[in-house]
Structure 1
């Protein structure tokens, strides 16, 4: 990481400039260093509230389908007043491996595991392949 240090002419002030950017993750601001490393503002892991909410919806909708409350994804979408595409993408989160679900709830998921990329790119169905796909960084 490159820093720029400047000392005032009278020698009483030092200015240090560190290049960084800010990224929003789960509604929180995250500092990103030039090398791409995420610098968390707090030492404790923070759950991604957007991802947790989507996960809760996925399991709720999955239960509704299994119990027979709704027969199709389009019925759920109509009842929830949501786009069928969104509902089907979110519903897929119910297929995540239990340890990945636990990591999301604990805030230990990899930084790359965010709702939009999960919905856009998808992920493997098999649990072991999911773990490999997410690089085992949930530990």
Structure 2
């Protein structure tokens, strides 16, 4: 029996200002952020299951620098409502993956929400 979970999100992709966005009709999704959050959650599950011992092992397997993996893994700790906004495409337009990678993301969810307020 396969215990993996799959989610289908019907989206059409378009390019805007050099960035791929997924258009669901009412909002635009930042594909890079969604992909990064999904990857981070997957890696986090691999660490939790013991499939990988740490960031260095994941980096080696993915062909990435450990610092890149570490920065991406922080996205796995985003508050569920923030992830929901990302999936709906209702996140602030100025919020980019580049910004998320270059800035500290607070561990506490209320502080994460406060961090995102700066974009409004």
Normalising by the smaller structure, the TM-score range is 0.7 to 0.9
Of the candidates 17, 25, 29, which is equivalent to residue 24 of structure 1? 17
CA positional deviation for 1:112: 2.4
Structure 1 stretches lacking a partner, 5+ long: 1-22, 29-40
Q: Does 1:107 align with 2:89?
A: yes
1:13-52 deviations in whole A, cap 9, x for unaligned? xxxxxxxxxx737424xxxxxxxxxxxx996111110101
* Residue ranges of structure 2 left out of the alignment (5+ in a row): 1-15
| 2:51 pairs with 1:58 | no
- Greater C-alpha Rg: 1
CA distance 1:75–1:105, change in 2 (3 Å):
same
- Aligned partner of 2:112 in structure 1 is 130
Cα RMSD (Å): 2.4
> 46, 55, 58: which one pairs with 1:76?
58
Task: Tell which has more relative contact order, 1 or 2 (C-alpha 8 A, sep 6+).
Answer: 2
TM-score, reference length from structure 1: 0.68
Structure richer in helix, relative to its length? 2
Give the TM-score normalised by the residue count of structure 2. 0.78
SS in 1 for 2:17: strand
The answer to whether the Cα contact below 8 Å between 1:109 and 1:137 also exists between their aligned partners in 2 is: no
